[in-house]
Amino acid sequence: MMSQEMQLQVRDMARNFSNEIIRPMAQELDEKENFPHELYLNMGELGLFGIGVPEEDGGPGCDTVTYALVMEELSRGYSSVADQCGLIELITTLLVRHGTLKQKTQLLSDIMSAKKLVAYCITEPEAGTDVSGIRTKATKCDDGWVLNGGKIWIHNAPVADLGFVLARTDPEAGHRGMSIFIVDLHAKGVSRGTKEHKMGQRASQVGALNFDDVILPEAALLGQVGRGFHMMMS
């Protein structure tokens, strides 16, 4: 647990960054729907992403209260920026809890520094609130898996390098038949749909991803086969 003094120090750093850097550019970012990658690289250097990643995994190891304080300050600056922070927190939490040592070593640092942009991929045309409706499937092959299907309304889809994709691995097993795969979004068979134009948080890039016979290595599986639904929902 962090001392209150440390929590307030991190909050003040986020507050100053928000007032001095984010706030002045918020209106233009929202009007032009620009993706502020430079800003995110800057925030990565300051340690504002992956706030809860433990120190032994290379993160700042802050607690949930500190994460909430940072999100509050970033949201006051511009909600799309907080949105990116929340997305990275979601993905790094999944990796810390379920990743192998190799996955963590290879990915965490690049994700926290925003050098690799990520997407959290659950929603499909037939699966919104009811996640059990997903149809994207991963079929076992000799050296790994073959991914087919598609996702919609995915934050960062137009710009992301890596997708954390929930796919069906056993059609008969309901909630226990889904698994998460870490997908290279520059791989053969991955294509991106058009960017959505929204009424708010317009610098957050949202769109669709399609997977057409995408070959995944064994190492792309995150956590246990069949536990993807529970991992994402917890």
Using only C-alpha atoms, what is the Rg of the chain?
Answer: 18
Least gap, CB of 158 to ligand FAD (angstroms): 12
Residue corresponding to tokens 């948080």? 201
d(CA 116, CA 120): 13
Q: What binding mask, one character per residue, do residues 150-169 give for ligand FAD by CB under 6 A, x or -?
A: ---xxx--------------
Identify which of residues 156 and 169 has a Cβ nearer to ligand FAD in the complex.
156
DSSP string for 86-142: HHHHHHHHHHHHH--HHHHHHHHHHHHTTSS-EEEE--BTTBSS-GGG---EEEEET
Among 49, 78, 120, 211, the residue binding ligand FAD under the rule CB under 6 A is: 120
Q: What binding mask, one character per residue, do residues 60-99 give for ligand FAD by CB under 6 A, x or -?
A: ----------------------------------------
> Per CB under 6 A, does 121 bind ligand FAD?
yes
Least gap, CB of 122 to ligand FAD (angstroms): 3
d(CA 142, CA 208): 29
Identify which of residues 13 and 159 has a Cβ nearer to ligand FAD in the complex.
159
For residue 143, how many C-alpha atoms fall within 13 Å in the half-sphere facing its CB? 4
CA torsion, points 41, 42, 46, 47, in degrees to nearest 10?
-20
Three-state DSSP state, 69: helix
Question: CB of 63 within 8 A of CB of 8?
Answer: no
> Per CB under 6 A, does 185 bind ligand FAD?
no
> Per CB under 6 A, does 217 bind ligand FAD?
no
Least gap, CB of 114 to ligand FAD (angstroms): 16
Identify which of residues 11 and 195 has a Cβ nearer to ligand FAD in the complex.
195
Identify which of residues 26 and 166 has a Cβ nearer to ligand FAD in the complex.
166
> Per CB under 6 A, does 194 bind ligand FAD?
no
* Residues near ligand FAD, by CB under 6 A: 120-123, 128-129, 153-155, 198, 206
